[in-house]
Structure 1
């Protein structure tokens, strides 16, 4: 690499800038793909699904992981009366950054009578990662949503912990045009906050599961049952139910994977199984 003293600019690293624009709609009695735009390294695959399952969009990052300065943008719309599941075939890896943030922005729109599952597998924060992530949902009052995200703080199998770096993870939910729920997690000194007994208490992972839609309060007893010893459930406001787990990564994933089948059946009317990509 040439120095500035030699009169040459230092070359910059190549960065990923992935994008997906995905829209589902009704055709006859089925939900079909209406529009798809994808920009490398982001891709969407559509594996065959079992009987009774909604259309499945498999979100793939062909780069295998994200580094500082990389960016991904995802826009999804499920049209009136449609159904869809979106998930990833593997965990997303956020590598150590040399300074810039990794930016992930997701926008979900759910129209009248539609049902959407947002079920990516866990995101692993390598030590030194800097992640800025935002999930924004716009839905009508008669739509339904099941959304889950899981963060893993370091690579436990290698004895690594998320000691340095940064995390800013924000959720925004609007129902019928009005802000219904907002949440954000910000760690500028992750090693301190994660180890604090009044913070994350040394946990290796953190998962959030959100249900949104009319009459969701009827499912609070089931949510509390599924919380187990690592979790807790609440109704932050009418039409929104929240379930969270905090603890060792393997156990948090086990509780999340156990809750999803029961909740997708009870809340969305889908088969009481995990999406195939979670088990293959």
Structure 2
């Protein structure tokens, strides 16, 4: 990683010149703390991205939002850009009603590029709280996908978020072997980069089966937790990590989950074969983290049970 990293925030109003057989979509959301709680106060959209109204299963102070993408998957030429602003004192829980999908890319490049792209950005103002829990992303055999998430926050905000990636459909005898998939996750605090994680899978680099890569596993996932104001000293963070590891030990999943604390950022990784197992484990850890970092019991979005 170089010492200087240039970042560009998403501007949903930027006009992107359409390319041949490209479907471009932008969605920009803004959430504000109001006298009646956290409200969706601004929406801009273009193309097949939208949200339902906010839901409040735990009261007015936390808005649950479901991201909707009616095509239900990303094909060659698609470029989805999602920008979410959580303003001062607002609290957002952001999820999706179902799995995201990167379908098989087109083979005939004479009709357009093969690339499939999703770019997501979260901006958190002072004292804002954001929980970003999308359902799993399925990457089909032959895909050519790029997925990135940038999180911009301050030292007084709280962020909890995960991503779960499933390669191919091995239970249906459709393994992921010839596709390409790149993922980039970055987290900035007060404009300083504190986390940068990138994986690029392709038939050429053999990361799918390499012991230094995925070692033949088809599901990989990361759960990030950052709350500088709540985790003020090293001893407090160490104790929390011990509690998380105890939960994993009780679930007999120590061979699937690793937990690391990096300068106040908790990085929890899963490597295995089952998305639902990963999600159950992540929810279990969220149920421990949420009361300590947000002072609220973990209330699962209703859509997860349908």
When the two structures are superposed, what TM-score results if normalisation uses the length of structure 1? Answer: 0.89
Are 2:208 and 2:216, in contact at CA under 8 Å, matched by a contact in 1?
A: yes
1:257 aligns to what? 283
User: What secondary structure sits across from 1:192 in the alignment?
Assistant: coil
CA distance in 2, matches of 1:194, 1:166: 11
> Of residues 78, 82, 91 in structure 2, which corresponds to 1:74?
82
Matched residue count = 268
**1:1-280 correspondence to structure 2 within 5 Å:** 14-28=21-35, 30-52=37-59, 54-98=62-106, 100-189=114-203, 192-214=206-228, 215-216=230-231, 217=237, 219-227=240-248, 228-229=253-254, 230-236=256-262, 238-249=263-274, 250-280=276-306
Are 1:78 and 1:109, in contact at CA under 8 Å, matched by a contact in 2?
A: yes
User: What secondary structure sits across from 1:157 in the alignment?
Assistant: helix
- Cα RMSD over matched residues? 2.0
CA distance in 2, matches of 1:222, 1:167: 34
Q: How far is the alpha carbon of 1:13 from its aligned partner?
A: 7.1
User: What secondary structure sits across from 1:278 in the alignment?
Assistant: helix
CA distance in 1, matches of 2:51, 2:193: 29
CA distance in 1, matches of 2:247, 2:82: 30
Q: How far is the alpha carbon of 1:278 from its aligned partner?
A: 1.7
Give the 3 Å change call, closer, same or farther, for CA 189–269 of structure 1 in structure 2.
farther
Name whichever of 146-155 and 186-195 sits farther off.
186-195
Q: How far is the alpha carbon of 1:276 from its aligned partner?
A: 1.8
Q: How far is the alpha carbon of 1:156 from its aligned partner?
A: 2.7
Listed one character per residue, the Cα deviations across residues 26-66 of structure 1 (whole Å, up to 9, x for unaligned) are: 11261111101122211111253313471011001111211
Structure 2: segments with no counterpart, 5+ residues = 1-18, 108-113, 232-236
Q: How far is the alpha carbon of 1:190 from its aligned partner?
A: 7.5
User: What secondary structure sits across from 2:303 in the alignment?
Assistant: helix
CA distance in 1, matches of 2:189, 2:212: 33
User: What secondary structure sits across from 1:221 in the alignment?
Assistant: helix
CA distance in 2, matches of 1:262, 1:59: 25
Larger strand percent: 1
Are 2:161 and 2:224, in contact at CA under 8 Å, matched by a contact in 1?
A: yes
CA distance in 2, matches of 1:255, 1:160: 26
Q: How far is the alpha carbon of 1:263 from its aligned partner?
A: 2.3
CA distance in 1, matches of 2:205, 2:192: 36
CA distance in 2, matches of 1:252, 1:27: 36
Are 2:187 and 2:193, in contact at CA under 8 Å, matched by a contact in 1?
A: yes
CA distance in 2, matches of 1:157, 1:234: 31
Give the 3 Å change call, closer, same or farther, for CA 189–78 of structure 1 in structure 2.
same
CA distance in 1, matches of 2:37, 2:150: 26
CA distance in 2, matches of 1:261, 1:276: 16
User: What secondary structure sits across from 1:128 in the alignment?
Assistant: coil
2:14 aligns to what? none
